[in-house]
Structure 1
Amino acid sequence: MTAQQLIIFDCDGVLVDSEPLAAEAYERVYEKHGMSGVGPGIIAQCVGMKQADIIIRIKELTGHHLKPEQEIDLWTVTRDLFSEKLNPTDGIAPFLGTLKTGRCVASSSSLERIHHSLDVTSLAPHFGDAIFSSSMVKRGKPAPDIFLHAAEKMGVAPANCVVIEDSPFGVQGAVAAGMIAIGYTGGGHTFAGHGEKLKAQGAHAACANWTEIAQTLNGLGFKL
Structure 2
Amino acid sequence: MKQNFDLVIFDCDGVLVDSEVISCRAHAETLTRHGYPITPHQVLVRFLGVSDREARQTIEREIDRKLPDDFEQQVKAATLKFYEGDLQAIAHIGEAIGAIRLPKCVASSGTPEKIHHGLTCAGLYDQLAPHIFSATQVSRGKPAPDLFLFAAEQMKTQPSQCVVIEDSVPGVTAGRAAGMTVLGFHGGSHCQPGHAEMLRAAGAAVTFSDMRQLPDLIARVGRTAG
Task: Name the TM-score, length of structure 2 as normaliser.
Answer: 0.91
Question: Does the CA contact (< 8 Å) of 2:15 and 2:188 recur in 1?
Answer: yes
- Give me the whole-angstrom Cα distance separating, in 2, the residues matched to 1:77 and 1:42: 15
Q: Which residue of 1 aligns with 2:221?
A: 220
What's the CA shift for 1:99? 2.2
Measure, in 1, the Cα distance between the counterparts of 2:147 and 2:93: 22
- For the 8 Å contact 1:42–1:58, the answer to whether it is kept is no
Counterpart check, 1:144 vs 2:140: no
Tell me how far apart the structure 1 counterparts of residues 28 and 80 of structure 2 sit (CA, whole Å): 14
Aligned-partner Cα distance in 2 for 1:208–1:65: 39
Partner of 1:45: 46
Instruction: Supply the distance in 2 between the matched residues of 1:215 and 1:180 (Cα, whole angstroms).
Output: 15
1:48 & 1:91 partners in 2: Cα distance?
22
Q: How far does the alpha carbon of each residue in 1:50-81 deviate from its partner, in whole angstroms, 9 at most, with x for none?
A: 10111233456677863223332111101111
Q: Which residue pairs with 1:127 in the alignment?
A: 128
Match of 1:36 in 2: 37
Structure 2 vs 1, CA of residues 2 and 187 (structure 1 numbering), >3 Å: closer, same or farther? Answer: closer
The one-letter amino acid paired with 1:209 is D
Paired-residue identity, %: 35
Q: Deviations over 1:118-137 (max 9, x none)?
A: 11111011112100111111
Instruction: Tell me if 1:86 matches 2:87.
Output: yes
Partner of 2:109: 108
Written as runs of structure 1 = structure 2, the 5 A alignment for 1:126-205 is 126-205=127-206
Q: Secondary structure at the match of 1:192?
A: coil
Match of 1:208? Answer: 209
Between the aligned partners of 2:200 and 2:63, the Cα distance in structure 1 is: 28
Return 5+ residue gaps in structure 1 as ranges.
none
Distance in 1, matches of 2:60 and 2:171, equals 21
Show CA shifts across 1:97-131 (max 9, x none): 22211100000111111111111111011112100
Question: Which deviates further from its counterpart, 42-51 or 116-125?
Answer: 42-51
Q: Is the 8 A contact 1:163 1:179 kept in 2?
A: yes
Match of 1:12 in 2: 13
Once the two structures are superposed, what CA deviation does each residue of 1:152-192 show, in whole Å capped at 9, x if it has no partner?
11111111100000000000110011100000001011011
Look up the match of 1:67.
Answer: 68
How many residues are matched?
222
RMSD of Structure 2 on Structure 1 (CA)? 2.0
Contact kept, 8 Å, 1:14 with 1:166, in 2: the verdict is yes
Query: Judging changes above 3 Å, is the alpha-carbon distance between structure 1 residues 83 and 143 closer, same or farther for their aligned structure 2 residues?
Result: same
- Partners of 1:11 and 1:18 in 2: how far apart? 9
